[in-house]
Amino acid sequence: MGRRTFEMVDLIEIYVHWFAGRSKSEIAASLGVDRGTLRKYLAPAEAAGITPGGPPMLVETDWRRLVAEWFPQVVDTTLRATTWPEIAEHRDYIVAQLGQGVTQATIHQRLRDEHGLQVSYASVKRWVAANLPEEVVRSRVTVPRPEVPAGEEAQIDYGRLGMWTDPATGTRHRVDAFVMVLACSRHMFVFPVVKMDQTAWTAAHVAAFDFFGGVPRRLVPDNLRTGVDKADLYDPKINRSYSELAVHYGTLIDPARAVKPKDKPRVERAMPYVRDSFWRGREFLSLQAMRDEAAFWSIEVAGRRTHRGLDGASPLSMFETVEAEALLPLPRKQFVLASWSTGKVGPDCHVKVGTALYSAPWRLIGQSLDARSTATMVQLFHRGELVKTHVAAQRGKRTDPGDFPEEKIAFYMRTPAWCRKTAEEVGPACVEVIAALAEGGVMFKLRQAQGILGMRDKHTPDRLEAACRKALDAGDPSYRTIKGILALGAEADPVQRPAGDGGAAAFLHGPSLLFGDALTMPTPHEQTGAPTASVSGDPAGQAAG
């Protein structure tokens, strides 16, 4: 087994459980953390005089600051170093010691004291388990399972029921049953699902707690790396939603060991019974009708049956007389179903969450983000820090222009409304020019309007306003004409019209008729050898033509 890497969120979860007053044994069992590792991470808190429950009262931000101080390698991954190569240098010595029956704890002590190897006992154990499996003799001990106190434990599993055709759509679905059994009374709750994803998993728990009217203190689900087809339920990152559910309801998650059905015998033995008594030979009009029937069956059939493990009593009677009042009360606030996923920010500043794309700050391009999704909201986290919140979308994009560099998004932000507002800052002639362009088709002339207003970067508003006025007087309020007027410094000159050619008709022959020989004469810039702007050779001018 590879060495587990603890991230910031893992350590904060340990400290939150510990600060809430839970014992180290409970935390180790619930979070799947070796007690030696647990002691290692709790040692700085205890040394600092922090005690469960406070004072002082510590919240997540406080723990984040303390973790960064106590374990800087969690924040700066470059500080992490693997110890396995150092242990491997002593392979022959370890093999010889194991051959003589020396325990791994003693081997670690001798490596430290006699060979100067400064590594943890847990590191030695992991290295031996991964590299010397033949030399390690593992004892197999069967421990009798004690009776579980009322309200203490619920065992959870998925089991396949069969195939079902939805009468409304004709679609065939594989149906599995989420089953929760209270270990003391054996009272069970069955919740059929057609998807074994994260949302179905958490929704089934919520339905089970509502069904029982309370919450058991410990949940024993199947091991979170095996037993379900959909990997998204068992990815450690995504399982943060399961942890959120446990915190909300005040319960602990104590996963059964992989391939160890005896860790949850109550629910394992219930699955064949559910399949035979509830499912076989029955038809259902809808998934909701199936779930309603399952809840009814859980009470009236499974709940009232005589149970040998209860000395002939029924699970329902045992639940009502002993276990119901021992359960934790339901919280007043309703649990918000949330799912977690991971995605990388692309060059377009968007990350995919489900079937939609959401923008994130451009500085995070190439970085992996954790996404928390509810029915109404999507939150993006980078290394535990909230960096963006969006309204949830089924498909398409949710884009915040503020997530892009200003120089990259400027063009797309210059909408027709922006053009009109900016023109008002220049003057009435500029407003009239933009309005004239809009009459010709907003989308076709939008680039010209943007180009005209962009001339403010090189020319004063007064000059631009005068150039717009002259172009209007000439009957040609176009980007190319206004740019040419400014390039020649001719905005203050009167409009020249050839004799006999009146009004706007003169302008049908193009800017050359307006400017005369000025367009072919060298400008002051050209005379000095300095570069000058082309009147018609720019992209906006070409688009205008």
Closest by Cα among 362, 368, 363, 315 to 343: 368
pLDDT beyond 70 at 493: yes
Q: For residue 514, what pLDDT is reported?
A: 52
Closest by Cα among 215, 218, 396, 192 to 298: 192
- Structure-token pair, residue 206: 């919520």
pLDDT beyond 90 at 299: yes
Read off the pLDDT of residues 184-219 as tens digits, 9 standing for 90 and up: 999 999 999 999 888 889 999 999 999 999 999 999
Residue where the block lists tokens 């309370």: 214
Cis before 55? omega within 30: yes
pLDDT above 90 coverage of the chain, percent: 31
Question: Among 254-268, 287-301, 383-397, 485-499, where is mean pLDDT lowest?
Answer: 254-268
Q: Which residue has the higher pLDDT, 525 or 151?
A: 151
Q: Which residue has the higher pLDDT, 222 or 144?
A: 222
Residue where the block lists tokens 């150039």: 467
Dist CA 26 CA 258 (whole Å): 19
Give mean pLDDT, residues 236-256.
Answer: 79
Q: Within a 10 A sphere around the Cβ of 294, how many other Cβ atoms?
A: 24
Give mean pLDDT, residues 504-513.
Answer: 45
Q: For residue 168, what pLDDT is reported?
A: 92
Q: For residue 292, what pLDDT is reported?
A: 96
Q: Within a 10 A sphere around the Cβ of 18, how many other Cβ atoms?
A: 21
Q: Which residue has the higher pLDDT, 299 or 221?
A: 299
Contact between 267 and 157 (Cβ < 8 Å): yes
Contacts 24+ apart (CB under 8 A), 488-491: 488/515, 488/518, 488/519, 488/523, 490/515, 490/518, 491/463, 491/466, 491/467
Question: Among 158-167, 228-237, 314-323, 473-482, where is mean pLDDT lowest?
Answer: 228-237
Give mean pLDDT, residues 69-76.
Answer: 76
For residue 11, name the pLDDT band (cuts at 50, 70, 90).
confident
Contact between 72 and 79 (Cβ < 8 Å): yes
Q: For residue 413, what pLDDT is reported?
A: 64
**Model-wide pTM > 0.85:** no
Strands (E), 356-463: 356-359, 368-373, 377-382, 385-391, 396-398
pLDDT beyond 80 at 522: no
Q: Which residue has the higher pLDDT, 532 or 437?
A: 437
Q: For residue 352, what pLDDT is reported?
A: 94
Cα–chain center distance at 422? 39
For residue 326, name the pLDDT band (cuts at 50, 70, 90).
very high
